[in-house]
Chains A and B, each alone.
Chain A
Amino acid sequence: MSGRLPLPLALATIVGISSARAQVSYERLRTPAREGGSWLTYSGSYAAHRFSPLAQITAANVAGLRPVWVYQAREAGFLQTTPLVADGVMYVTEARSRVAALDLRTGRPLWRFEPAVPRDVRFIGFPPANRGVALLDDTVYVGTLDAHLVALDATSGAVRWDVTVADNKLGYAITAAPLAIDGKVVIGVSGGEAGIRGFLDAYDAKTGQRAWRFHTVPGPGEPGHESWGGESWKTGGGAMWITGAFDPELNLLYWGVGNPAPDWNGDSRPGDNLYTCSLVALDAATGALRWHFQFTPHDTHDWDANQVPVLVDATIAGRPRKLVATANRNGFYYVLDRTTGEFVSGVPYAKQTWATGLDNAGRPIVIPGQEPSEKGTLVWPSLQGATNWFSPSYSPKTGLFYVPVREMGSYYHKGEAEYVPGRPFMGGGESLRPGDEAYGAVRALDAVSGAQRWEFRLLSPLWSGVMATAGGLVFGGANEGNVFALDAVTGKPLWEFQAGGGLRSNPISFLIDGKQHVAMAARQAVFVFALP
């Protein structure tokens, strides 16, 4: 470019896209189609599509994608963050619940928040990762490893309020990104390997006062309590450690519930163990349970339902349906009616050896003898499931549901489990199968039928999410450090970059100065890519 810029454009270039104050209103959060240049919430939209409407980067030009800046996290440990992008700022979380606000053009830090997480903080059964913040109005919300929810001023990082969500000494922790809705911040807890009693909370966004709490394990007198033998409900697990979805029209939150505790020894908890390993639909105003669907009754394989539920609108048999779709850790892909919870369809999307299928109501028809044993029981999928916490993606353009897959089996062991507050309460585990030809894959499923359209194979079972774009691409990352782009229709690999560290994160896309960028964290650094 040569010559002098007209003054307004020159100013725009200097001032750029930064507004004086970030104001991520609820209206902006509700209208992701108008916010394609931002990434305002964990899954990109309340419908949790992790889909970018940006289409500058396409199958034709993606081969030219290059890194434009890299942010090196200050805190040691893998980044599992989904960065948020609003008004010229990127918000990244690091291990031990650190938050960094970065200048979007350069990656230079603007402010940093380091919560006073105690040295002896308990995180039982998972690394000290954090998966991201939530934005609402001029505030940034982060859950901390010691189970606090903290509200930060978006301009300075100053603490507006800090509430204790649960007692970390009992094993409660927060690793999930909160979800900000109209006037409320919704957050779930980790701790399923410590025998917590899980819950989802909503807090008043301005004051931090708790609005409601939904217990995933019903107490005495509540429906579902009868699905727990003896006193087992008190230590029943059911963590909610991955951000859910929200339908503003139905005013329902959709959230996956974790495994029952102890994980691999179910002797002390006879029954279906509601609402563990379920998807729950909660009234966003009150937290009241509208419906539930349990994928794995009385789970003994740690197949929690902490996967992102994806809201899909489609026509089935001539009838428009509001659906929620999820690829569950247990190896099945489910489609449910999101108004009623009615089972619509379910098919395996990965190798599984524990069920012959699903019955008409969607309940698994379990093959006997697949429970963990002292010597080990070989079952597919492995303990980490056919997929896990990292995000799937749905493209309204292709109608495909893209799921990162872990093709792997393992020997499940049953051991003893004694509940000691704030200590591991697991009752076994897995050992890996010698000779295992485990591998990873990104699979594209017809979102309604679950039929597989294509697969792109990867060297090892994945730990990273995917993002589809309107440019006809699916971005993802591999354990060996590759960030890659696939053709959304065919699965053909079109671009790859070796980031020098394994990926355990989710991709996003946004605009800088009107130009499309893609970001994804590899090991301890956030990489931002653009065309030359």
Chain B
Amino acid sequence: MRRALVVVACLLATSLGAQAIKPPRPLASPTAADLDRGHALFDVQCARCHGIGGTGGMGPPLAGVKLRRARDEEGLIAVISEGVPGTAMSGIWQLSERELAQVAAYVTSLGRVPAVALPGDPLRGKAVYDGKGACASCHIVGGVGSGGGPELTDVGNRRGADYLRESLLEPGARFPERRVPYEPNLYPAYVVVRAVALDGTAIVGTPVNEDSFTVQVRDAAGRLHSLRKAGLARLETQEATSLMPSYRGALSAAEVDDVVAYLATLRGEP
């Protein structure tokens, strides 16, 4: 599949820190003004990942779906304020308690929007995934496949359909902001780097991790290279490229629709 578009994950999660006070209660009966305010705040704070109207993007769609991490609106407020560890979702600490509740009310209202029907057929998409697409040579679904690329077991929970389609056609289109996101929101970014040693030999692959002195690069063959930066002449990020090949031309438009529809059904459940 594709690499994640990386939002510079928020160190505030540790610097401002989890507050030892309880998150606010949901609004008992949100007014139209509350929903408008929640909508405006959502567009500024959330839509970059979740899409305008919650249609999804690099983050999961929120419109027309049952939220997986939030059982109820109280749980939703907790997810918004605390974030999801190990993902790009950092806690939105900068809202007041009322604003937080207003955003949650708006997101809850999105759940009542009917989900957009996808044009493809998931069953045919699975056949392409397993056959012609040879997707399992780099991706794991439900424990099956190879782990060089991102696991897709629950990619339907993590990405919107437009993002999935773009990933198939232009895997390098969305350029991650950082080679490796900051801790604590550390997660694989699947950027491509080219590490050129002082003797001129080069390694191309994805940086699995990096610090100021070392970088750990996995090449397309799956080999891990642990490198000291002092031994490198250059460490270049290869913009707008991906280790994943584009399926433009390799799959028909209908097949792409089918694969997108299949991926959207992957929810981490057997």
A431 x B94 contact (CB < 8 A): yes
Interface membership of chain A positions 156-184, coded 1 if the CB is closer than 8 angstroms to chain B and 0 otherwise? 00000000000000000000000000000
Closest Cβ neighbor of A430 among chain B residues: B94
Partner of B213, one of A78, A440, A496: A496
B94 x A125 contact (CB < 8 A): no
Interfacial chain B residues near A376, Cβ < 8 Å: 44
Q: Quick one: given A127-B14, A418-B96, are A498 and B20 in contact (CB under 8 Å)?
A: no
A427 x B96 contact (CB < 8 A): yes
Q: State whether the Cβ of B98 lies closer than 8 Å to any Cβ in chain A.
A: yes
**Complex Cα–Cα for A496 and B182 (A):** 20
Interfacial chain B residues near A127, Cβ < 8 Å: 14-18
Question: Which among B14, B19, B20, B93 has the highest number of chain A CB atoms within 10 Å?
Answer: B20
Q: State whether the Cβ of B8 lies closer than 8 Å to any Cβ in chain A.
A: yes
Interface size on B, residues (CB 8 A): 36
A436 x B96 contact (CB < 8 A): no
From DSSP, what is the main secondary structure of chain A's interface residues?
loop
Interface membership of chain A positions 486-525, coded 1 if the CB is closer than 8 angstroms to chain B and 0 otherwise? 0000000100101000101000000000000000000000
B8 x A436 contact (CB < 8 A): yes
Q: Quick one: given A423-B97, A438-B8, A463-B15, are A482 and B213 in contact (CB under 8 Å)?
A: yes
B177 x A436 contact (CB < 8 A): yes
Q: State whether the Cβ of A434 lies closer than 8 Å to any Cβ in chain B.
A: yes
Within 8 A of B (CB), among A201-222: none
Interface membership of chain B positions 106-148, coded 1 if the CB is closer than 8 angstroms to chain A and 0 otherwise? 0000000000000000000000000000000000000000000
Q: State whether the Cβ of B233 lies closer than 8 Å to any Cβ in chain A.
A: no
Interfacial chain A residues near B10, Cβ < 8 Å: 432
Closest Cβ neighbor of A171 among chain B residues: B21
A434 x B17 contact (CB < 8 A): no
Shortest Cβ gap from A497 to chain B (Å): 10
Within 8 A of A (CB), among B194-217: 210-214
Closest Cβ neighbor of B18 among chain A residues: A127
Interface membership of chain B positions 161-196, coded 1 if the CB is closer than 8 angstroms to chain A and 0 otherwise? 000000000000001011000110000000000000
Interfacial chain A residues near B14, Cβ < 8 Å: 78, 127, 504
A498 x B11 contact (CB < 8 A): no
Q: State whether the Cβ of A236 lies closer than 8 Å to any Cβ in chain B.
A: no
**Complex Cα–Cα for A376 and B8 (A):** 16
Interface membership of chain B positions 1-38, coded 1 if the CB is closer than 8 angstroms to chain A and 0 otherwise? 00000011111101111111100000000000000000
- 17 pairs of residues in contact across A and B, judged by CB atoms under 8 Å: A120-B20, A123-B19, A123-B20, A124-B21, A193-B16, A383-B12, A413-B44, A413-B94, A418-B96, A422-B21, A423-B97, A432-B7, A432-B8, A432-B10, A433-B8, A434-B8, A498-B211
7 tightest A-B CB contacts, nearest first: A429-B94, A127-B17, A480-B211, A432-B8, A458-B212, A459-B212, A496-B213
Name B residues whose Cβ lies closer than 8 Å to a Cβ of A: 7-12, 14-21, 40, 44-45, 48, 93-99, 175, 177-178, 182-183, 210-214, 230
4 further contact pairs, Cβ within 8 A, besides A432-B7, A479-B182:
A122-B19, A376-B44, A481-B211, A504-B14
